[in-house]
Amino acid sequence: MMLKNRATQIYWFFLIAILFSCGGRSRVDVSHIDVNIAVERFDQALDSLQEDNIRVLNRRWMQQYGQFYEDYMQHMLEAGDPHDSIRLEAVLREVQATPDYRALKEEVARVFPDLSAQEAGLTDAFRRLKYYFPDIVVPRVISFFSGFAVQTPVGADYVGIGLDMFLGADSKFYPALRESIPYYLSRRFTPKNIVPRVVEAFIREELYPQDDLDVTLLQHMVYHGRVMYLLDSVLPDTPDTLKIGYTGEQLAWANRYERDIWAWFLQENLLYDADFNRIQKYIGEAPFTPELGERNESAPKLGVYIGWQIVRRYMERHPGTTLKELLDIKNAQVILDGARYRGR
């Protein structure tokens, strides 16, 4: 493998450009689009919870927060069905009395006294989504904490923000969770990741869910590449590192060895491989890609990265294609052929 024989150096003179590169379509004016995201602070609403008012608040929150509240109590906090108020009251009394609950609530309040920056970023992103896809229904956005259970859940009419999963890479809570949340994931649990993760969750769950018939690596690559290209288009000021979840060094490595990565996929006959376990090595979360690089310095999710570059190249070669038309192309091979991608 060619990558094994090359010196693995980071070329800092172009790293800064990579960190702040933002691909995608030319900017569009979305100031006239009537979308304004105001995050509903359910995490702050929990401050009013006391032993003697649980049933009253339970009734109020079922009406106020609807499906989110039911999902939160049953599936995120795992406290029970809100309609069973007696059982729920007993569980919530125990939960709110624990030191861990109080410590986490205090830390969330300290890190996120307000979410104005995130509201501005989400407003701009959803205006752009509405510009490109006028028929979408903009969801409610609700913040919460759940003991590190879930980060950005998507429900029938909402997208949630699990603020305890964005406390900062150096949060005192994350080292104790290493068995379930390794460092290569928790380093991305920062406030700057809130907007791209919420937008990505909405795209993947509501706007453009993956087809169950996608089985080959190429199909997965092109699907993920289209999602990343949508992020390019609706988050024009967001660095590529935040979109894909790479460190600056990982993105520099992937850009430097892009041709070799593509050659590796071809050499190993990976594009049309339908072995899910094998495919996962190239599209799933990981600290690095084991087969590539010499000292575990390779970037992970290289199928996602290469799919992204394929879709970018396709759209460069077909500038008249709308985002909706891009998503409507069912055959991944059409995207690959139309991109004339050769590893760069």
DSSP annotation string for 150-217: -SS-B-SSEEEEEGGG-S-TT-TTGGGGTTTS-HHHHTT-SGGGHHHHHHHHHIIIIISPPPTT--SH
Q: What is the predicted pLDDT for the residue at 21?
A: 46
Q: What is the predicted pLDDT for the residue at 25?
A: 60
Q: What is the pLDDT of residues 157-195, one digit of tens each?
A: 999 999 999 999 999 999 999 999 999 999 999 999 999
DSSP state of 47: G
Sign for the CA dihedral angle at 119, 120, 122, 127 comes to positive
Neighbours of 126 (CB within 10 A): 24
How many angstroms separate the first and last alpha carbons of the chain? Answer: 18
Binning the chain into helix, strand and coil, the percentages to the nearest 5 are: 55, 5, 40
Paired residues of 143 in beta bridges: 41, 161
Q: What does the pLDDT average to over 212-228?
A: 97
Q: Please give the single-letter amino acid code of residue 143.
A: S
Q: What does the pLDDT average to over 41-69?
A: 95
Give the separation between CA 40 and CA 115, rounded to whole angstroms: 10
DSSP state of 295: S
Indicate the helix (H) or strand (E) that contains 287. none
Nearest to 323 by CA among 227, 235, 221: 227
Residue burial 272-310, b: 16+ Cβ < 10 Å; e: rest = ebeeeeebebbbeebebbeebbeeeebbbbbbbbbbbbb
Note whether 131 and 25 are within 8 A (CB): no
Sheet with 40-41, edge to edge strand ranges: 40-41, 140-144, 158-162
Q: Band of the pLDDT at 13, cuts 50, 70, 90?
A: very low
Strand-pair category, 40-41 with 158-162: unpaired
Q: What is the predicted pLDDT for the residue at 15?
A: 41
Give the separation between CA 263 and CA 269, rounded to whole angstroms: 10
Provide, rounded to the nearest whole percent, the portion of the chain with pLDDT above 70. Answer: 92
Give the separation between CA 146 and CA 66, rounded to whole angstroms: 17
Give the separation between CA 223 and CA 266, rounded to whole angstroms: 19
Q: What is the predicted pLDDT for the residue at 284?
A: 95
Is 50 exceeded by the pLDDT of residue 225? Answer: yes
Note whether 337 and 314 are within 8 A (CB): no
Give the separation between CA 75 and CA 12, rounded to whole angstroms: 45
Total-model pTM = 0.91
Paired residues of 141 in beta bridges: 159
Among 13-17, 225-229, 248-252, 270-274, the range scoring the smallest mean pLDDT is 13-17
Q: Phi then psi for 40, rounded to 5 degrees?
A: -85, 120
Give the separation between CA 261 and CA 91, rounded to whole angstroms: 51
Q: What does the pLDDT average to over 186-213?
A: 97
134: Cβ contacts below 8 Å, ≥ 6 apart: none
Is 50 exceeded by the pLDDT of residue 19? Answer: no
Average pLDDT, the chain: 92
Q: What is the predicted pLDDT for the residue at 139?
A: 97
Q: What is the predicted pLDDT for the residue at 288?
A: 95
Q: What is the pLDDT of residues 277-328, one digit of tens each?
A: 999 999 999 999 988 888 889 999 999 999 999 999 999 999 999 999 999 9
Q: What does the pLDDT average to over 236-256?
A: 97
Q: What is the predicted pLDDT for the residue at 51?
A: 87
CB-side neighbour CA atoms (13 Å) of 294: 8
CB-side neighbour CA atoms (13 Å) of 92: 25
Q: What does the pLDDT average to over 61-76?
A: 96
Q: What does the pLDDT average to over 23-37?
A: 84
Is 70 exceeded by the pLDDT of residue 47? Answer: yes
Note whether 120 and 126 are within 8 A (CB): no
